[in-house]
Amino acid sequence: MIKKTLLTLLVALFMQTMAKADEGMWIPMLLEKYNIEQMQKMGFKLTAEDVYSVNQACLKDAVVIFGRGCTGELISDKGLIVTNHHCGYGQIQYHSSVENDYLTNGFWAMSPEEELINPGLTVTFLKRMEDVTEKVFEGTTSDMTNEERQKIIGRNIAKIKSEAVKDTHYKAVLKPFFHGNQYFLFVNEVFKDVRLVGAPPSAIGKFGGDTDNWMWPRHTGDFSMFRIYADKDNKPAEYSKDNVPYKPAKHFPVSLKGVNEGDFTMVFGYPGSTYQYVPSYHLQMLTETINPKLIDVRTEKLAIMNRFQEADPAVRIKYAAKNARISNSWKRWIGENRGLEILDAINKKQQFEAEFNKWAKSNAVEYSDLLVKYEKVYKDYTNYNLTYGYYREMIRSNGMEIAYLASQMEALKALYSADEVNEEAAGKVKEKLKERVELFFKDYYKPIDKELSAKLLAMYAENIDKAFQPDVYDLINGKFKGDIQKFVDYLFSKSIFDDKEATLAFVNDFSVKSIKKLEKDPAYVLNNSFKTVYEDEVYPKLKKYSSELAELNKAYMAAQMKFESDKVFYPDANFTLRVSYGQVKGYTARDAVYYKHFTTLEGIMEKDNPDIYDYRVPAKLKELYKNKDYGRYEVDGTVPVCFVATNHTTGGNSGSPVLNAEGHLIGINFDRAWEGVMSDLMFNPEQCRNISLDMRYVLFIVDKMAGAGYLLDEMTIIE
């Protein structure tokens, strides 16, 4: 009997160390200490120093932050980078029009001159990182109030950052880890001339569209290519025709050797945020309140947009990126709720908390009331957090666009409200604003905005506490007798902000007198009434609860690390460079349904359906298929397309390099499988899978379909 218990215990311990192979987003600088041994046991052939080093060129030198929320990687010594199609989507759309529809037809620069410039797009390299925890806490003591401590920490951080990049063109970023128990400094180099080299048509790059998004089996050719340009000294520079392709310290060789089940893989990129160590109350808040309510708003938004987009190709292009953005989180929330429920996650957390409390009561009394405190804060926080989420949906996150545009006038109003108007500053603001107005109307369609505004105003009134109802509802309920549609008609007939020329002229001629006119514009009034409620009623409380939670999170994190002192913890994702490693592996989705680890061109042909927008296979691809014209990308009579593995990834990891045991590029990470999208909150090694695009499909498309095979000449290809 005793023997058996011991054996179970040993097996349990063993299982625990095994499970950690998949779960975790590890700090590159600390691989040597925590991970490399296990990585090598799993097949990895490189050293920790090969992955991250400050003394030699290493893999990290080939990984970049692409734009603001994605990852990309270098694949040639001429600054060529690859990322996802959905990461370059904004740029591809920016260059698209009905005449030059790169979304539909794809785009390939056949020479450097044809590459397209992308204002505002940057890529960021990490030069080095450093644990600066001690310096950050210098001068703080445990008997200080939180406020006093934060003040000192803030001052220390500013000093560390400025010293780190003194006399250089680098940028310093400092981030808390483990909820403020540890701090790392990142010294970055940011390049600003990044040009579009190519993208497949959406029928490849977004094949399966939002229908297949977050799902496996998947057949999306989700990639696009860009090139980094530098000045003649290989340093970052604003766009100039004299810039030259950037010469990286390192680029990834592309492997055509492919993947087998059980192979080691690692993902090296920038995961955005995870919430692995939160209490059960957080999951309750999400699954019971926040997710369902926000899912509902977005369901309505998408229904309206889809209807107009399907009816008119020009509208389809205008709202393509907005729609994708709305749809992506909408679907993730649905999957997250489903996944947490199937995992019985709340219950699991509660069991953990019961054990934790028992331990705290007898061993670490200072932590014994943590969960009680949490419960209290979440009780109030939930409603404020929901209101904040809804408020963003109303205006900021593709809500009432006319109100959003009106809100952009705030800067001008402030400038002209001053006793003495700074005309020079005003001139600059006007120029910037005019650009923004142009961009706004490039992607604006009034009928959508009108319908959306009516819907959103009705939903807010129905779903949000009366205490947070903006004044504008007094107008709706008074003058318009509660008829929201009538109010919306009035809004759009009276406001100038649904009209490009009127708005441009208004900005251009803005003077002290314009302030009155602005304040009377119903779109401005609308925005203001929501903003006022947010700023006066919601934000102060939200700030209070968030800082209480931050303090609790810091303590609870430290406590969990003491409670499970044998466990190696990884910090929650915080959009810093991380390594995830695991295996190429299929999974059981539900009873009797096992998914293989890879998909092929056959699956694309199976899905082909000219009647469904998301499943229209391009003629050229069909022809290649018919002629079995696969070249060296052929495997068993077809072409591999995507594969799944057990790497722990999240939003931000899109575009990340997926590497094999040799550190060669075998895929581009772009998504997660439906059964595992709750991995931001709880990882389940049985079902959490990251989805990668197979590099053989990428090269097949570039070479055979796009006819841009010349790009392959600058890559290092391993056959």
Q: Which one among 280, 650, 684, 687 touches ligand ASP, defined by CB under 6 A?
A: 650
Q: Which of 654, 684, 687, 692 binds ligand ASP (CB under 6 A)?
A: 654
Which spans of this chain sit near ligand ARG (rule: CB under 6 A)?
Answer: 86, 210, 213-214, 324, 327-328, 651, 654, 670-671
Residue 324 interacts with which of ligand ARG, ligand ASP, none, CB < 5 to 8 Å by class: ligand ARG
Distance CA 703, CA 196 (A): 17
Other Cβ atoms within 10 Å of 257 Cβ, number? 14
Identify the active-site residue in 85, 86, 179, 282.
86
Residue 440 backbone dihedrals phi, psi, to 5 degrees:
-60, -50
- Residue 327 found at the interface with ligand ASP (CB under 6 A): no
Residues 4-63 that bind ligand ASP (CB under 6 A): none
649 contacts which partner out of ligand ARG, ligand ASP, none, CB within 5 to 8 A by kind? Answer: ligand ASP
CB 318 within 8 A of CB 401: no
Q: Is 657 in the site for ligand ASP (CB under 6 A)?
A: no
C-alpha closest to that of 452 among 494, 485, 421, 481: 485
Burial of 366 (0-12, 13-18, 19+ CB in 10 A): exposed
Closer of 559 and 659 to ligand ASP (Cβ) = 659
Q: How far is the CB of 646 from ligand ASP (least distance, A)?
A: 13
Minimum CB separation from ligand ARG for residue 213, in Å?
4
60 binds, among ligand ASP, ligand ARG, none (CB under 5 to 8 A by kind): none
Residue 66 and residue 123 in contact, taking contact as beta carbons nearer than 8 Å: yes
The distance of closest approach from Cβ of residue 679 to ligand ARG in the complex, given in angstroms and rounded to an integer, is 12
Part in contact with ligand ASP (CB under 6 A); list of ranges 201-209, 234-242, 312-320, 648-656: 648-656
Interatomic CA distance for residues 143 and 154, integer angstroms: 18
Q: Element (H or E) spanning 173, and its range?
A: strand 171-177
Instruction: Check binding of 393 to ligand ASP (CB under 6 A).
Output: no
Q: Which of 222, 208, 79, 250 is nearest to 669 (CA)?
A: 222
- 255 touches ligand ASP by CB under 6 A: no
Nearer to ligand ARG, 29 or 294 (CB): 294
Helix (H) or strand (E) holding 83, with range, is strand 80-83
Partners of residue 176 on adjacent β-strands: 183
Q: Does 647 bind ligand ASP (CB under 6 A)?
A: no
Q: Are 620 and 554 in contact (CB under 8 A)?
A: no
Binding of residue 212 to ligand ASP (CB under 6 A): no
Residue 27: half-sphere exposure toward Cβ, Cα within 13 Å: 23
Q: Which is nearer to ligand ASP, 638 or 654 (CB)?
A: 654
Q: Whose CA is closest to 69, among 88, 52, 82, 51?
A: 88
The span of 258-266, 576-584, 645-653, 709-717 binding ligand ASP (CB under 6 A) equals: 645-653
Q: For residue 516, give both structure tokens.
A: 């009155």
Query: Smallest gap, in angstroms, from Cβ of residue 329 to ligand ARG?
Result: 8
Question: For 229, what's the count of Cα atoms within 13 Å in the CB-facing half-sphere?
Answer: 22
Query: 627 phi and psi, to 5 degrees?
Result: -85, 0
Distance between CA atoms of 296 and 330, rounded to whole angstroms?
A: 9
Are 469 and 457 contacting, i.e. CB atoms less than 8 angstroms apart?
no
Nearer to ligand ARG, 196 or 693 (CB): 693
Judged by DSSP in three states, 666 sits in strand
Query: Which residues have C-beta within 8 Å of that of residue 435, sequence separation ≥ 6?
Result: none
- Active site includes 251? no
Q: Check residue 349 and report its DSSP letter.
A: H
Q: Output phi, psi for 80, to 5 deg.
A: -75, 130
Nearer to ligand ARG by C-beta: 71 or 529?
71
State yes or no: residue 217 binds ligand ASP (CB under 6 A). Answer: no
Q: What is the dihedral of CA 708, 712, 713, 719, to 10 degrees?
A: -150
CB of 86 vs ligand ARG, minimal distance in Å = 4
Beta bridge partners of 267: 580, 658
Chain residue at closest Cβ approach to ligand ASP: 654
Q: By CB under 6 A, tell whether 522 contacts ligand ASP.
A: no
Q: Is 67 in the site for ligand ASP (CB under 6 A)?
A: no
Four-residue CA torsion sign, 43, 57, 643, 331: positive
Segment interacting with ligand ASP (CB under 6 A) among 312-320, 597-605, 614-622, 668-676: 668-676
Token representation of residue 525:
């009034």
Q: Is 653 in the site for ligand ASP (CB under 6 A)?
A: yes
Please, which residue, 106 or 676, has the CB nearer to ligand ASP? 676
DSSP code of residue 617: -
Task: Output the CA–CA distances (angstroms, integers) from residue 703 to 28, 710, 712, in the order listed.
Answer: 34, 8, 8
Place of tokens 């050293």: 47
Site stretch for ligand ASP (CB under 6 A), options 60-68, 278-286, 644-652, 709-717: 644-652
Q: How far apart are CA 569 and CA 119, in angstroms?
A: 40
Report whether 496 contacts 402 (CB < 8 A). Answer: no
- Residue of 670, 683, 697, 700 interacting with ligand ASP (CB under 6 A): 670
Query: Is 684 a binder of ligand ASP (CB under 6 A)?
Result: no
Confirm whether 654 is a catalytic residue: yes
Residue with tokens 């092929």: 600
Q: Which does 210 bind (CB under 5 to 8 A by kind): ligand ASP, ligand ARG, none?
A: ligand ARG
- Of 180, 652, 663, 685, the residue at the interface with ligand ASP (CB under 6 A) is 652
Instruction: Report the distance separating Cα 75 and Cα 714, nearest Å.
Output: 8
> What is the closest distance, in whole angstroms, from the C-beta atom of residue 672 to ligand ASP in the complex?
4
Is residue 651 a contact residue for ligand ASP (CB under 6 A)? yes
CB-nearer residue toward ligand ASP: 399 or 652? 652
DSSP designation for 431: H
Place of tokens 């995830």: 580
- The active-site residue, picked from 397, 654, 679, 692, is 654
Tell the smallest beta-carbon distance from residue 654 to ligand ASP (Å). 3
Q: Kindly state the smallest distance separating residue 222's Cβ from ligand ARG, in Å.
A: 7
When the beta carbons of 309 and 650 are compared against ligand ASP, the nearer one is 650
Instruction: Please give the single-letter amino acid code of residue 286.
Output: L
Q: At its nearest, how many Å lie between ligand ARG and the CB of residue 327?
A: 5
Q: In the complex with ligand ARG, which residue's Cβ is closer, 93 or 453?
A: 93
213 binds, among ligand ARG, ligand ASP, none (CB under 5 to 8 A by kind): ligand ARG
Annotated active-site residue in 222, 521, 572, 694? 222
**Integer angstrom CA distances of residue 678 from 333, 341, 393, 584, 653:** 9, 10, 22, 20, 15
Helix (H, G, I), strand (E, B) or coil at 641: strand
Interface with ligand ASP, residue 671, by CB under 6 A: yes
Binding flag, residue 646, ligand ASP (CB under 6 A)? no
| Cβ at position 649, least distance to ligand ASP in Å | 5
Q: Which CB sits closer to ligand ASP, 572 or 671?
A: 671
* Nearer residue to ligand ASP within complex by CB, 287 or 692: 692
Residue 653 contact, options ligand ASP, ligand ARG, none, Cβ 5-8 Å cut-off depending on partner type: ligand ASP
Q: Does 390 bind ligand ASP (CB under 6 A)?
A: no
From the CA atom positions of the chain, what is the Rg in Å?
27
Residue nearer to ligand ASP on the CB measure, 193 or 336: 336
Distance in Å, CB of 650 to ligand ARG, minimum = 9
Kindly state the smallest distance separating residue 253's Cβ from ligand ARG, in Å. 26
Terminal C-alpha separation, the chain: 55
Residues designated as active site: 86, 222, 654
* Residues near ligand ASP, by CB under 6 A: 649-654, 670-672
